[in-house]
Copies of this chain bind each other. A is one copy, B any other.
Amino acid sequence: MEGPMDTAPVNPPPRLLMGPGPITADPRVLRAMSAQLVGQYDPAMTGYMVEVMGLYREVFATANEQTFLVDGTSRAGIEAALVSLLEPGDRVLVPVFGRFGHLLAEIGERCGAEVHTIETDWGTVFAPEQVEAAIVEVRPKVLAVVQGDTSTTMCQPLADLGEICRRHDVLLYCDATASLGGNPFETDAWGIDVATASLQKCLGGPSGSSPITISPRAVDVIDGRRHVEAGIAEERDVARGVRIASNYLDLAMIMDYWGPRRLNHHTEATTMLYGARECARLLVEEGMDAAVERHRLHGAAMLAGVRGLGLEVFGDVDHKMSNVVAVHIPDGVDGDAARAVMLEDFGIEIGTSFGPLHGKVWRIGTMGYNARKDAVLVTLAALEQVLRSGGVAVTAGGGVGAAQEVYA
């Protein structure tokens, strides 16, 4: 029997990741991550941290000074935001339109908050008036909302929510994990107080670092929960709120690590920072509007392509994220078996689904490095073959042809 002693160097099989994320990383991001380390307080390192803050201000479309990385996956960023904003007993309102809304509610409960939810059918989004009515009823401290929920592919319109939240003196937190970089996102113009994201969706990097941005009024709330040793306390350190229940995800401490005080907290994950920096650098070089347009184009091509294959698209297509589409698995096709053939014979991963959609839809992504014409066309070509061998009547070339028309 083989044991740990016989483990070979890592050598992953070639995959084109066309699911809802993680997706294939941009090779330039992986190259950046192979750079050698520097010390935690090396001037080169603190310089990189300052650059990362500037780059993510562009990505989030914000002037927020407090824009940096949480060291963990996107879920770490979500929890850092909620545990740092919500005190036990605070009310939080979560509009739930898919699995990740349930996650926000669950994390809010763990924070000891009084969680209120409103729900809408999977495959739909909320109208601003529905959210405002719930705000009037619940009077929450925080409205916590997902922008793009990959479980349903829906993209909740946010442009009106910031103004509503300000009118009712509510803080607006947005989970932009799956959407940022591939769909319009305007932190300042939309009045979003805290937003968090990930690298492994439209940013073209690996999971493991969560960019975050925090408005001055949210900073004020979080700063008030800082409890520090008397010796280093300043005016801003006088605690007005309940201490944040996490040390690792205490945004007040993390702000002091990234900010001019440079107070030691965790040891920054240098390689992930190199990767996050390169993700943002490439996006900013391309231009955020151009990146969003690229996702729109290739998402439209994939949408046309799956329809050209005769597949029925799930949900309210007008409110779909650009970067992922869910299609009903045709009658008589074993969805997981077909996905396995796509993976094993063609080297292409497409996604399964959760909860009420489990076994009913596939989710196909076109995001980050894989928001590309060749990735779209080869996926449609392979899917045509797999559907045909599964006994589905498919027009030869119908998927690729429809996508090509979008590109024409």
- B contact residues around A268 at 8 Å (CB): 73, 207
Is there contact, CB below 8 Å, between A269 and B38?
Answer: no
Bound: A305/B53 CA distance, A: 41
In the complex, A130 has a CB within 8 A of chain B: no
Interface 0/1 of A232-250, CB less than 8 Å to B? 0000000000011111110
Residue from B21, B112, B274 within 8 A of A10 (CB atoms): B274
Is there contact, CB below 8 Å, between B21 and A37?
Answer: no
Is there contact, CB below 8 Å, between A37 and B24?
Answer: yes
Bound: A44/B14 CA distance, A: 10
In the complex, A17 has a CB within 8 A of chain B: yes
Residue from B17, B22, B57, B266 within 8 A of A75 (CB atoms): B266
Interface 0/1 of A374-398, CB less than 8 Å to B? 0000000000000000000000000
Residue from B44, B55, B110, B270 within 8 A of A245 (CB atoms): B110
- B contact residues around A55 at 8 Å (CB): 4, 7
Is there contact, CB below 8 Å, between B246 and A246?
Answer: yes
In the complex, A294 has a CB within 8 A of chain B: no
With both beta carbons as reference points, the residue of chain B lying nearest to A264 in the complex is identified as B354
Interface stretch, picked from A25-33, A135-143, A163-171, A295-303, is A25-33
Bound: A354/B265 CA distance, A: 12
Is there contact, CB below 8 Å, between B73 and A266?
Answer: yes
**B-contacting residues, A8-27, CB 8 Å:** 9-15, 17, 19, 21-25, 27
A11, A19, A208 — most chain B CB neighbours (10 Å): A208
Is there contact, CB below 8 Å, between A349 and B42?
Answer: yes
In the complex, A404 has a CB within 8 A of chain B: no
Q: Take A5-B284, A12-B38 as given contacts and tell me if A110 and B244 are in contact as well, using a CB distance cutoff of 8 Å.
A: yes
With both beta carbons as reference points, the residue of chain B lying nearest to A285 in the complex is identified as B5
Interface stretch, picked from A186-194, A216-224, A275-283, A312-320, is A275-283
Is there contact, CB below 8 Å, between B10 and A58?
Answer: no
- B contact residues around A25 at 8 Å (CB): 36-37, 271
- B contact residues around A28 at 8 Å (CB): 9
Shortest beta-carbon distance from A65 to chain B in Å = 14
- B contact residues around A284 at 8 Å (CB): 4-5, 7
Bound: A277/B12 CA distance, A: 13
In the complex, A34 has a CB within 8 A of chain B: yes
**B-contacting residues, A56-107, CB 8 Å:** 57-58, 71-76, 78-79, 83, 103, 106-107
Bound: A387/B244 CA distance, A: 45
Bound: A17/B44 CA distance, A: 13
- B contact residues around A346 at 8 Å (CB): none
In the complex, A35 has a CB within 8 A of chain B: yes
* Interface set of A (CB-CB < 8 Å, partner B): 3-5, 7, 9-15, 17, 19, 21-25, 27-28, 30-40, 42, 44, 48, 51, 54-55, 57-58, 71-76, 78-79, 83, 103, 106-107, 110-112, 198, 200, 206-208, 243-249, 264-272, 274-275, 277-278, 280-281, 284-285, 343, 349, 354
Q: Sort A-B residue pairs by CB-CB distance and give the 7 closest, nearest first.
A: A208-B269, A206-B271, A72-B72, A34-B34, A4-B54, A75-B266, A73-B266
Q: What are 19 of the A-B contact pairs (CB < 8 Å)? A: A4-B57, A5-B285, A7-B55, A7-B281, A10-B274, A12-B36, A12-B37, A13-B42, A13-B44, A22-B39, A30-B35, A37-B206, A38-B349, A74-B267, A75-B265, A83-B246, A103-B247, A208-B270, A208-B271
